[in-house]
Amino acid sequence: MHNIEPYFNWRNLYMAVEDERSPFFGREYSEVYFTDSIYDHYIHPQWDNIGSETLFLKILYADYDDRYAVIELMGEWNDTLHNDIMTLKRDIVNQLIDEGINKFILIGENVLNFHSSDDSYYEEWFEDIEDGWTVMLNFRDHVLNDFRDAGVDNYFINGGPLNDFEWGSFRPLQLFQRIEQLVERRFDPNYLIEE
């Protein structure tokens, strides 16, 4: 797991540590020392520790004019033991919402498991972005099934083309526009996305 790095091809366009509006502004990283781990596996030092023992992330891009953020996740999303949704919502998402972000693209290729608890923080997130949305992009099938079984998938947009999306071939604005187009089509009664 220590070889899995956050996506780095947009670092010339955006770095959360240089963004005064980011929860990670001013954070320093080691390129050499591995300090965080998930269970007994060290993870790459570029992942951001959000105060969870099992869930780490990287804000890959935030655009305050178009009001979106792209966030890559890593590890195990565990609400049962660590209430990861509370930590994510209160310490990261709320700050971004306060800065005007209301559209979130969550990249979940490196989320290995999901363990549920209640849905209160999911509902709160959903209500706080009234005119926005949260998309789950490239989450593993068994993780999506666990979200569905817990009944919290209703607060996210996922499925269909969002499950196998070559997002790394886009620049941030292109990705956002493509995802927004898919979201709008999904809610257009005259358009059907094949599942």
List the structure tokens of 94: 């709320």
Q: Is residue 154 part of a domain?
A: yes
Which domain, by its residues, includes 39?
A: 16-186
Structure tokens at 53: 């023992």
Q: Does residue 91 lie in a domain region?
A: yes
Phi, psi of 134 (to 5 degrees): -130, 125
Which of helix, strand or coil describes residue 16? helix
**Does the model's pTM come out above 0.75?**
yes
Which residue from 55, 181, 39, 185 is spatially nearest to 115, judged by alpha carbons? 55
Domain assignment present for residue 143? The answer is yes
Number of structural domains in the chain: 1
Look at residue 123 and tell me if it is in a domain.
yes
Q: What is the pLDDT of residues 161-195, one digit of tens each?
A: 999 999 999 999 999 999 999 999 877 655 554 44
Q: pLDDT tens digits, residue range 44-67?
A: 999 999 999 999 999 999 999 999
Q: What is the CATH number of the domain that holds 41?
A: 3.30.750.24
Residue spans of beta strands (DSSP E) within 17-157? 37-38, 41-42, 48-49, 55-63, 68-78, 103-115, 133-137
Is 11 inside a domain boundary?
Answer: no
